[in-house]
Amino acid sequence: MSGTILENLSGRKLAVLVSFILLCQIACFLIGGCIAPAPSNVENVLGTKCLVDTALSPGTFDDHWHIPRGHDRRPINCHPINNINSPEAIKDERVTPNKIVFAFQIPNPKVNEVLDYSRWMQNLIGVLHIEVLYKENIPIAGKPILSLDVKLGYRNKWDPDDKYTLIAKSTEKRYMSCEIEDKRKIEGYQYDCDLLPLFELGSLHHDFYLINLRLPVAESNKEPINEGIGQIEDIIVVVINQNGGFTKVWVSLKTVFFPVIIGLMIWFWHRILLLPRPPALLEKMLLTLGIALSLLNLPLEFLTLWVEMPFMLLLSDIRQGLFYAALLSFWLIFCGEHLMDDVTRGRVRSYWKHLSAVGFGCLCLFIFDMCERGVQLKNPFYSIWVTDLGTNLAYLGGRTDLGKNLAVFSALFIKYEIDSG
Amino acid sequence: MVLICPPVLKRTTTMTFPLMKAGFLFLIFCTTSSAEMRWLALLRQSSVATRGAVHERVEICNIKELSKKQSKICQKNLEIMNSVRLGAELAIQECQWQFKSRRWNCSTGGKRIFGKILKTATREAAFVHSITAAAVAHVVTRACSSGQLQRCGCDRTVRVKPSQGFEWSGCSDNIAFGTAFSKSFVDARDLRRARKKSKPRALMNLHNNEAGRKVLEYNMKLECKCHGVSGSCELRTCWRAMPAFREVGIILKEKFNGATEVKPIVSGKYTKLEPVNIRFKHHTDTDLVYLRPSPNFCELDEKTGSLGTHGRRCNKTSRAIDGCELLCCSRGYISQNRSERERCRCKFHWCCYVECQSCVRTVEINTCN
């Protein structure tokens, strides 16, 4: 089989080319390591416990926003309570669970500035950290279900201080999993509680966000909710956003490499078409891989600076999924084509078993992703992980890297194929 | 023995002379007296207002108990001062909980918040210093997280501007700012004394303050969230979560029990604190150190600030320090039976509401002679 590009190069030219590519790679690593900041920024936001005027029954929402820092940093629709478990609060008849709202206004002010999110920050993830203090007579009963009535809203810089616009409101269930060692069972110690997912926003399009969260209890004649959840002291929402600097460096690299790779692909295909023979399977696969890579490289992120695109998280998952699928198929065919056996291949059909395994894996991931991030487009509070099945899946998916797993499995699969025949 | 500066003299000097001169005189008279943790006088300010008129607010920074540096920090960071005050309160509360059944029970009151107990460089003083420094760091960190404070920095250096900008690289966690602030404010007076005269007591205070903050920092819990493709750990972000302050208190109490007695060793220009008993392991950065052994706290003693254990309740059955034998210093105790009304069989609903029955129970109360 006559070669296209690399096969025609002399040893010296090949060495020059390889070292050039190596240098490019080193440069990229250096840019990533020295210029770009950490990929994401994390902030712990301690909820302000607001006492509100009207009690709301579970599953209902009011039209007010409870804002800890409104105009001139005074609270709006919110009487902050320092400690909801203090004797004064317990004695106070007005303080009832259905009148308490945990309010989180993000981002927090820092260094004498009112910070705001930038569109370069791309996405926002919220995680719940519930602080439950150990009390001998108020234990946590097994794995209680936490029922949250939660609202999420945004405000733009030019909006008045109390004008928040609703993004989503929902009643969510989360399984609380808290433990405490026997030797730490001392009054005032904290339970060790698992983090609970709260929300994921695929686009960070606005400047300020506000979360109003309630843990209501049911009226006496109804089935009880939020029972046996221990003595909740405080709720912290940990918000994670992509760093603007990281996005800038990353998108710049994408912008540089996208046209380069497109150009290389066109040149490569042009060279192949010049050959007197039809393109080989491996060459077609190389082109597919190039297309998948370019799809991944397409700097769509620029659009998010002007247009609200909540589907970006989903889209980038799909783009990465497609790239993984193309890469795995390429490896499979590459291995198959270079095997020193007498079986004639050279057609995609010969690889249907392997490719459908890859396809099936990627399809599963896609379905799973649609179930989580797809549904999140409608309800950012939705999480598949909170079901029992989801928690197990999380264990599988969370602790292991699915992409790498797929690669290893398919390599093993090929090895098995070779060994058996 | 430490000389005690008579409070009357101080008052007259401040009245007769302008502030600067008074400070000067005070220095002359009291150079041998230790002015430990005088900033705790902030606790007597009813509430450190953050919204009042400017002159009103600055007033609390001018109380004579603050050193020059502390007063400067106070004026610059007025809104944080309320957290400092709450931190001091938290420290006292925790100290009293930890020491509730010991001869010295961390009692407060009187002109100096902790009585004269801080005057001598004992273990008790070491504990009070460490827990206060830790509590200030704890409360400031939490106040930063709640968004109440606007001045919280983005890194360790209590700087005005974030080094690279929030948009580019975000902000670091608040604990860095909390500890840095505690360090700059709580340590200010001792730092000067340690630099100028390398006073052993100042060195001891600085070490114990830092030990308290280190215990807080070393016991932060690392928590992580995976948020890569489909929630895989391809991308993982970790942060530090603060322990409950009770945990810090318990660890510092253990450090109190295992505190090292040290003596100042002068080597060239510097003074270092070295263990008195060289066979013991050298203290680490989280261990507490002290210079003088504690009094036994059995009897009332004006000089040391010991209140004595007369009239304290003790536990008849215990053989530990809370037991009547040890707590009453072998003076014996009186037992009384008294019926007390108690809340019992309580049912708690998550927020702020406890349903209890009330029961009458006879309890034996033992009080030291």
DSSP codes joined into one string, A321-379:
HHHHHHHHHHHHHHHHHT--SS----SGGGGHHHHHHHHHHHHHHHHHHIIIIIHHHH-
Say what the pLDDT of residue B157 is: 52
**Residue B248: closest CA among chain A residues belongs to which residue?**
A189
Nearest to B246 among A96, A189, A368 (CB): A189
pLDDT at A253: 93
When CB atoms are compared, the residue of B160, B166, B223 closest to A112 is: B160
- Report pLDDT for B316: 82
Kindly state whether A394 is in contact with chain B, defined as any CB-CB distance less than 8 angstroms: yes
Pick the range with the lowest mean pLDDT from A115-119, A233-237, A314-318, B363-367: B363-367
Query: For the residues A287-315, what does the mean pLDDT come to?
Result: 93
Residue with tokens 């920050």: A121
Identify the residue with better confidence: B56 or A57.
A57
Which residues 68-87 on chain A approach chain B with CB closer than 8 angstroms? Answer: 68-69, 73, 84-85
- Residue count of chain A: 421
Which of these ranges, A347-356, A381-390, B45-54, has the smallest mean pLDDT? Answer: B45-54
Cβ within 8 Å of residue A163, ≥6 positions away: A155
C-alpha pair distances (Å), A403 with each of A329, A398, B230: 13, 12, 10
Model pLDDT, residue A154? 95
Residues of chain A neighbouring B181 (CB-CB closer than 8 A): none
Q: Does A172 touch chain B (CB under 8 A)?
A: no
| Cβ–Cβ contact A194 with B under 8 A | no
pLDDT above 90 coverage of chain A, percent: 42
Q: Which of A39, A73, A115 sits opposite B235 (nearest CB)?
A: A39
Q: Which amino acid is it at B199?
A: K
What does the block give as tokens for B91?
A: 């420290």
**Quick one: CA torsion of B213, B219, B222, B223, rounded to 10 degrees?**
-100
pLDDT tens by residue, A76-117 = 999 998 888 888 888 788 888 888 999 999 888 887 788 899
Determine whether the interchain pair A236/B232 forms a contact, defined as Cβ–Cβ distance below 8 Å.
no
Give which of B59, B211, B48, B44 is closest to B114, Cα–Cα.
B44
Return the pLDDT at A405: 62
Note whether A39 contacts B: Cβ–Cβ < 8 A: yes
* The pLDDT value given to residue B363: 84
CB-count exposure of residue A141 (10 Å: 0-12, 13-18, 19+): exposed
Among A268-277, A347-356, B287-296, the range scoring the smallest mean pLDDT is A347-356
Q: Domain-by-domain residue ranges, chain B?
A: 38-307, 324-368
* CA B49, chain centre distance (Å): 22
Confidence class for position B53, pLDDT limits 50, 70, 90:
low
* pLDDT tens profile B119-133: 888 899 999 999 999
What pTM was computed for the model? 0.85
Which residues does A27 contact at the CB level (< 8 Å), separation at least 6? Answer: none
Write out the two tokens for B94. Answer: 């925790």
CA distance between the termini of chain A? 25
Q: How confident is the model at residue B343 (pLDDT cuts 50, 70, 90)?
A: confident
Report, as an integer, the average pLDDT of B61-87: 86
- B266-273 long-range contacts (CB < 8 A, ≥24 apart) are B270/B198, B271/B198, B271/B200, B271/B203, B272/B203, B273/B200, B273/B203, B273/B204, B273/B207
Residues 246-305 of A with CB under 8 A from B: 248
Residues of B in contact with A229 (CB under 8 A): 350
pLDDT at A388: 65
Pairing verdict, β B289-290 and B260-267: parallel
Q: What mean pLDDT comes out for the span B213-236?
A: 87
How high is the mean pLDDT of chain B? 79
Name the residue among B154, B169, B351 with its Cβ closest to that of A245.
B169
pLDDT of A270: 92
Of the given ranges (A153-157, A176-180, A344-348), which has the lowest mean pLDDT? A344-348
Alpha carbon separation from B315 to A56, A130, B193, B270, B300 (Å, rounded): 48, 37, 43, 48, 21
Range of weakest confidence among A9-13, A383-387, B47-51, B129-133: B47-51
pLDDT in tens, A119-153: 999 999 999 999 998 888 777 878 888 999 999 99
pLDDT reported for residue B27 = 36
Cα A87 from Cα B293, distance rounded (Å):
39
Which of A266-280, B67-81, B303-317 is the least confident region? B303-317
- What is the pLDDT, as a whole number, of residue B281? 83
Question: A380: which chain B residues are within 8 Å (Cβ-Cβ)?
Answer: none
Q: Which of A215-229, A331-345, B4-18, B133-147 has the lowest mean pLDDT?
A: B4-18
* Interchain proximity B349–A41, CB inside 8 Å: no
Q: What is the mean predicted confidence (pLDDT) over B294-306?
A: 80
Give the chain B residue nearest A198 (alpha carbons): B225
Residue B48 reports pLDDT greater than 80: no
Placement of tokens 């507490």 in the chain: B288
pLDDT of residue B330: 82
**Minimal C-alpha gap between A394 and chain B (Å):** 8
Strand ranges in chain B using DSSP code E only, listed in sequence order: 221-226, 236-241, 260-267, 270-275, 289-290, 300-301, 306-307, 313-314, 333-349, 353-368
pLDDT score of A288? 94
pLDDT at B59 over 50: yes
Beta carbons within 8 Å of A2's beta carbon, 6+ residues apart: A275, A277
Cα angle A319, A324, A325 (rounded to 5 degrees) comes to 95
Q: Are A323 and A288 in contact (CB under 8 A)?
A: no
* Residues of chain A positioned with their CB less than 8 A from the CB of B223: 129, 195, 238
DSSP conformational letter for A120: G
> Is the pLDDT score of A236 beyond 90?
yes
Q: Which of the pair, A353 or B11, is modelled with greater confidence?
A: A353
Give the count of Cβ contacts less than 8 A between chain A and B.
Answer: 196
Give the residue from chain B lying closest to A214, CA to CA: B351
Most confident of A263-277, B24-38, B102-116: A263-277
Highest mean pLDDT among A64-73, B132-141, B355-364: B132-141
Best mean pLDDT range from A212-226, B27-41, B163-177: A212-226
Residues of A in contact with B168 (CB under 8 A): 37, 243-245, 248
Given its phi and psi angles, is residue B311 left (phi above 0), alpha (psi -120 to 50 degrees) or beta? left
B171 CA: distance to closest CA in chain A (Å) = 7
Question: Residue B139 has what pLDDT?
Answer: 94
Q: Are A335 and A383 in contact (CB under 8 A)?
A: no
Torsion of CA A308, A314, A317, A319, to 10 degrees: -60
For residue B244, the chain A residues in CB contact (below 8 A) are 131, 133, 188-190
Amino acid at B242: M
- Minimum distance, in Å, between the CA of residue B139 and any CA atom of chain A: 12
Measured between CA atoms, the residue of chain B closest to residue A133 is: B244
A238 neighbourhood in chain B, CB within 8 Å: 223, 225, 239
CB spacing of A238 vs B223 below 8 angstroms: yes
pLDDT of B30: 36
On chain A, the residues whose CB falls within 8 A of the CB of B234 are 401, 403
Query: Which pair of structure tokens corresponds to residue A418?
Result: 């070779």
Q: Which of B238, B247, B351 sits opposite A100 (nearest CB)?
A: B351
pLDDT in tens, A295-306: 999 999 999 999
For the residues B340-354, what does the mean pLDDT come to?
74
Q: Is A92 on the interface with B (CB under 8 A)?
A: yes
The reported pLDDT for the residue numbered A344 is 62
CATH number for the region B324-368 comes to 3.30.2460.20
Q: What is the DSSP letter of A386?
A: G
Task: Please give the Cα distance from A51 to A103 (Å, whole number).
Answer: 10
Between CA B245 and CA B253 the distance in angstroms is 12
pLDDT at residue A260, rounded to an integer: 94
| Residue in B24, B41, B32 with CA at minimum distance from that of residue B2 | B32
Residue entry with tokens 């909170």: A386
In terms of CA atoms, which chain B residue is nearest residue A42?
B239
pLDDT of residue A83: 86
Residue B169: predicted pLDDT: 82
Chain A residues within 8 A of B89 when measuring between CB atoms? none
The band of A420, judged by pLDDT with boundaries at 50, 70 and 90, is low
pLDDT of residue B23: 38
A149 touches chain B (CB under 8 A): no
Cα-based angle A32, A37, A42 (whole degrees, multiple of 5) = 135
